[in-house]
Structure 1
Amino acid sequence: MLQCHVKDLSMQRHHGARRRPSLSLPILRTSRSQHRNGSLTLGNLLSALGERSFGWAIVVFSLITLLPLPPGSTLITALPLLVTTCQMALGYPHVRLPGPLVRLKLDPDKLRRAVLGLRPITRRLERVLAPRYLPMFARRNERLLGVVLFVVAFALFLPVPLSGWFPAISLFVFGVGHVERDGLVAMLGLALGMTSVLLTVVIVVSLAAGAEALIH
Structure 2
Amino acid sequence: MALESLDQERTGRFIQSLRKELGLTQRQLAEKLMISDKTVSKWECGSGLPEISLLMPLCRELGINVNELLSGQRLSAADYQRKAEENIMSLMKEREESIKKIRLSVFTGISCTATLLVLILLVGFYAEVISLPVKALIIAFACLQFAAGLFVTMSMDREAGYFKCRSCGETFKPTWRAYIWGPHTITRRWFRCPKCGKFTGCKHVMSREEPDEQER
The two structures have a TM-score, normalised by structure 1, of 0.29
Structure in which a larger fraction of residues adopt strand: 2
Q: Which has the higher helix share?
A: 1
TM-score, structure 2 as length reference: 0.29
Structure ranking higher on relative contact order (CA contacts 8 Å, 6+ apart): 1
Structure of larger gyration radius: 2
